[in-house]
Amino acid sequence: MVRKHLLVLAIGGIILAGCTKKPPPPPPPEPVVPEISEPEPPPVPAGPSEAELRRQRIAQRIAEVVKPVYFALDQSTLTQDSRSTLSAIGDLLKEFDEVSIKVEGNCDDRGTDEYNFALGERRAKAARDYLESYGIAAGRLSTISYGEERAAMTGEGDDVWSKNRRDEFVPSY
């Protein structure tokens, strides 16, 4: 222990010694440094900008309202719950013009891959169409189907399958 302390002290001593021994070489750079540091004061306000505040509000609203909607087996019909989720997402899109949404359609892993790609697409489009009918410009909405490739949960059984038959919403802004 004692030795370590001594070592630390010794290293500190060397660093200090190194600092104090500067005088001979630095003369030329010295005058340049203080001149540059003068214009720094302006950013003193320190709080986020208006744009940043808006982005924070968007992120907060997204966290509140954007969540997956779920479907019945081999169905792409929106349930009452799904419609209210989508309406909330639609309100968010109305509130913030700069946000656009990618709808990702997904299926459980029963049925074949090819059919599930088409079914996932249909599910994504069901949500896209709802948002469009809610008054969101088509240009702010896009769709992709991942079929059964991106399961939210792995395994078998109704609990797993029902969690995988879903649309997910990926906002960008």
User: Phi and psi for 160 in degrees, rounded to 5?
Assistant: -70, -50
The C-alpha angle 54, 52, 87, rounded to 5 degrees, equals 25
Nearer to another protein, 67 or 150 (CB): 150
CB of 115 to another protein, least distance (A): 5
Task: Tell me how far the alpha carbon of residue 130 is from its chain's centroid.
Answer: 24
Nearer to another protein, 96 or 146 (CB): 146
Binding site for another protein (CB under 8 A): 74, 110-115, 117-122, 144-147, 149-150
CB of 126 to another protein, least distance (A): 12
**Do 101 and 60 contact (CB within 8 A), yes or no?**
no
Report which of 152, 143, 76 is spatially closest to residue 115, judged by C-alpha positions.
76
Nearer to another protein, 14 or 73 (CB): 73
Nearer to another protein, 69 or 119 (CB): 119
The C-alpha angle 159, 60, 49, rounded to 5 degrees, equals 155
CB of 105 to another protein, least distance (A): 9
CB of 66 to another protein, least distance (A): 20
Q: What is the chain's length?
A: 173
